[in-house]
Chains A and B, each alone.
Chain A
Amino acid sequence: MLLVDVIVAILLTSGMFFMFVGAIGLLRLPDFYTRLHATGKCDTLGEGLIIVGLIIYHLFHYPGTPLVTVKLLFLIIFIFIANPTAIHAIVKAAYRRGLKPWKWGEGRR
């Protein structure tokens, strides 16, 4: 039991680290496109890691309901497909409307 708890704790902590990096990236980066780089990807990966950790926890602590892990797997697959598509839609709309990317040496926007 202790090994499972340690693995779950490692996965949850690394997932939280990536989510923090995503939130800090939203605040720190200087331009709209670069901010979406940080959040769109680190967020998705952090969520994937957290939910994988919860699947492992569920398999060992609630052995009576194994179908719930299939639901969580669907959630992971859906997030991996849907989040980049939403980010791409926003970036395409901004590019069509004329928002210019940031080059090295300009001021913050």
Chain B
Amino acid sequence: MNGGEKGFGIIVTFCIMFLFWLILSGFFDAFHLITGGICSAIVTLISHGLLVRGKSQKVLLKSLRLLLYVPWQLWQIVLANVDVAYRVLHPKMPIDPLVIEFETSLRGDFALVTLANSITLTPGTITIFVEPEKGKYWVHALAKEHAHAHLVDKTMQRKVAYVFMEW
């Protein structure tokens, strides 16, 4: 990373940290603002390479599409949690666990993490292992219907690939 990209990362991280401080503290007099500035500067110096990596392409468009993806995800979570509650409370406990493995077309860090989090939040599946070079996921599923939705339908993979433009 050359100097221009590192500067951009430092400034964006400092702005985000200072905004966080302002929202959490609620006092706007001089003492608190100066203390906030110093603390944000120290945190930015230590960890400026973690949050923003240079001028990545089309960050704003990806953030907007991510904001549109979140409500669909929340609705899926509520629906499928009711299903897991039914399975747990039923006297016969109709579960049939199995481990499946599939490949996706995602390669970037953030996209892999978003799909792994979505799979773990949707009841019925937990991500066991992710291989970043080929986009392979090992997933433990609770019943055959849940495994079907990832192997055959592939709805969630297509939506995440659409958000991060990596199909």
Contact = CB atoms under 8 A, between A and B. Distances in A.
Residue of B77, B85, B89, B122 with most chain A CB atoms under a 10 A cut-off? B85
Contacts of A65: 26
Nearest to A27: B88
By secondary structure, the B interface counts as mixed
B88 A41 contact: no
Nearest to A26: B88
Given A42-B81, A45-B77, A34 B142 contact: yes
Interface residues of B, number: 30
Contact of A95 (B24, B89, B128, B142): B128
B97 A88 contact: no
B85 A36 contact: no
B23 interface: yes
Contact of A45 (B23, B81, B126, B128): B81
B126 A87 contact: yes
B96 interface: yes
A91 B96 contact: no
